[in-house]
Amino acid sequence: MERHFYWVRIADVPQWLIATPVPASGGEFDEPWMFGEGHLLQHPGAMKTQVEQQGERRAFVFAGLESVPIVSEAVANVFMVLASDDVQLFPVTVDSESGRYFVVNGRKTIDCIDEANCREVHLYDQDDPEPARRGAYRWIYGLRIDPAKTEGARVFRPKRFTHALIVSEEVKAALERVGNLGVDFERVTGPHEPLPPPREVPATLKQAREARAAAYSKLGDLSEDVIRRIVPTSGNWPSGFQAWRIIKRGQRTLFVSDGLSDPFLDASEPSVGFGFELAVETDEELPGDDGWPLDMLMWVSDGFANYADTRKLLETELAFIQFSGKGMPEQLVVPPDVFKKFRPNDWVSEHGMSMALFGLESPTLPTSFPTPAGPVRLVSAMAMHSSEIVAYLDRGGDEVLSLFLKCPDKSLSSTKRNPVIEWTVKDSPAR
C-alpha cells in the first residue's frame, strides 16, 4: 500500500494572525526566515511574538510573511511523539496568552520532488540577482513527491522548494485528532484528483472588466499585459482575481489595480466589490516597466483586500497607510529603530517602514469612473518621503495633511519630488 504525504497549507478558516517571532530580549533575528529552510538550528533562545489581528485561536498557524509554524502544546506533542528526529520545537510566548506555544522547525531537506508528475512548475531564472534562488522552484502547482525518496522521514521540506512543509499521513491523522487547526492538508503523492471544469465567467464580471478597461484606456496608453502574481498572496479580492495594469502617460507611468471593484461572485445583486481601485503614478524611469511603485501598489492592494478596518479608512476620503519598506528607495523608508521611537507597539519590518497617503485628488486623473453596477472610485496614492513620515509620526496627520494639500506634485509618487516638510528625529521633542 502506497504511503501518502501531505503539504501543510494555510486553511481558509477564521483565525488569528500572529507576527513573526523575535528574540524576547528585543530586536529581530538576522534571518527571520530560518525556521522555513529545513536546516538544523542552534537554539535561538527565548522568543516572543504578538497577535497582529485578533481572531479565533487555532492550535496550528503560520506566522508572519515568513510563514513560521507556531503550534499549541497539544500539537507540539504530536510532533515530539511521531517525528522527534525530524523537527525541533522552540518555546515562544504569544502576547498575554497563558497557554504554551512552540515554533516547529522542520530540520530535514530531502531531494524528492517528482517534477514530471507535478501539474505546473515555475523556476527562478538562472541569472536571478539572488544566487541562492537560481534554478530553484519559484512555485509549484499540483506538487508531487516520490515517497520512495523520503528517507523514512515523517516531517521535512523538499529540496529547492522549502516553502512547503510536508508531513506523513500518520502525522496528518494525529494533528487532525487534536483539531482546531488553522491549516489544512494537500496530498502530494499518488494520482491527481480530476480538475473541476472551468467555471464560466459571469456576465456581471465580464461587464465590470470591460468597463474598467474602457475607463483605463482613456487615461493613456493601456498595456495589453495583465500583471498577476505567480504565487497568489490574497484570496480576499471580490472575484478572487488579483491583477494590476500599466498605463503610459507621456513621461509618466500609471499603475492601477484591476479587480478590487469586481463583483463578489456570490452576490445576487449587481456589485462594485469594494467600490474602488487604486492608482500610483510616477515620473521615474523604471526597469522593465515595473519597480518599486508597482511593488508598493501590490502590497497595499492586498492590505485593503485583506482587512476591513483598512478599507474603512478610505471612507474618510484620505488615509495614511504604512507598510514594509522592503524594495522601496531609501528616500521613502524610515529605519526600524527610528519608527519604533514613535510607534513602539506597532509591527515594524526589518527593512524599515514606508507610508503612502491615499485619496489626494490628482489634477490629471478622474476621481471615479462608471460601471454597469455603479460608479467606482479611483483612489490615488502618494508615496511619502522619510522626512514626511517622521513628521506624521511626530506631529500627527492633520498638520502634515495641510502641507500635502498645497503640494504642486499632489498624488505623484517619486523620489524626485520635493518633500513638503523637512523633519528629522532631532526636530522632535525628547521621548
Query: pLDDT for 155-168, tens place per residue?
Result: 999 999 999 999 99
Give the mean pLDDT of 269-289: 87
Number of Cβ atoms within 10 Å of the Cβ of 288: 6
Give the mean pLDDT of 297-317: 83
Q: What distance in Å separates the CA atoms of residue 164 and residue 140, rounded to the nearest whole number?
A: 10
Residue type, position 397, single letter: G
383, burial (CB in 10 Å: exposed 0-12, middle 13-18, buried 19+):
buried
Nearest partner of 6 among 158, 234, 196, 230, judged by Cα: 158
What local confidence, expressed as pLDDT, does residue 430 receive? 46
Please, are residues 257 and 297 in contact by the beta-carbon 8 Å criterion?
A: yes
Give the mean pLDDT of 199-227: 88
Pairing outcome for strands 319-324 and 368-369: unpaired
Residue 355: strand, helix, or coil: strand
Q: What is the pLDDT of residues 358-417, one digit of tens each?
A: 998 888 899 999 999 999 999 999 999 999 999 999 988 888 888 888 888 778 999 999
Please, are residues 405 and 369 in contact by the beta-carbon 8 Å criterion?
A: no
Give the mean pLDDT of 125-141: 77
Give the mean pLDDT of 289-318: 83
Is pLDDT at 231 greater than 60 in this prediction?
A: no
pLDDT band, residue 145 (cuts 50/70/90): very high
pLDDT band, residue 431 (cuts 50/70/90): very low
**What is the average pLDDT score of the chain?**
88
Helices (H) and strands (E) in the chain, counts: 8, 23
Give the mean pLDDT of 324-344: 90
Q: What distance in Å separates the CA atoms of residue 336 and residue 353, rounded to the nearest whole number?
A: 7
Residue 255, all three cell numbers: 499603475
Please state, for a pLDDT cut of 90, what percent of the chain lies above it.
Answer: 54
What local confidence, expressed as pLDDT, does residue 218 receive? 96
Query: What are the structural domain ranges in the chain?
Result: 5-187, 203-427
DSSP character for 146? -
Q: Which of the two residues, 34 and 411, has the higher pLDDT score?
A: 34
What local confidence, expressed as pLDDT, does residue 427 receive? 61
Is pLDDT at 113 greater than 90 in this prediction?
A: yes
Number of Cβ atoms within 10 Å of the Cβ of 33: 14
What contacts 383, CB < 8 A, 6 or more positions away? 280, 293, 296, 328, 332, 354, 355, 356, 413, 414
What local confidence, expressed as pLDDT, does residue 157 receive? 97
Give the mean pLDDT of 104-123: 94
Residue 258, all three cell numbers: 484591476
Pairing outcome for strands 183-187 and 252-257: unpaired
Residue 279: strand, helix, or coil: strand
What local confidence, expressed as pLDDT, does residue 405 receive? 87
What local confidence, expressed as pLDDT, does residue 95 receive? 85
Q: What distance in Å separates the CA atoms of residue 333 and residue 331, rounded to the nearest whole number?
A: 6
- This prediction has a pTM of 0.63
Q: What distance in Å separates the CA atoms of residue 246 and residue 289, rounded to the nearest whole number?
A: 8
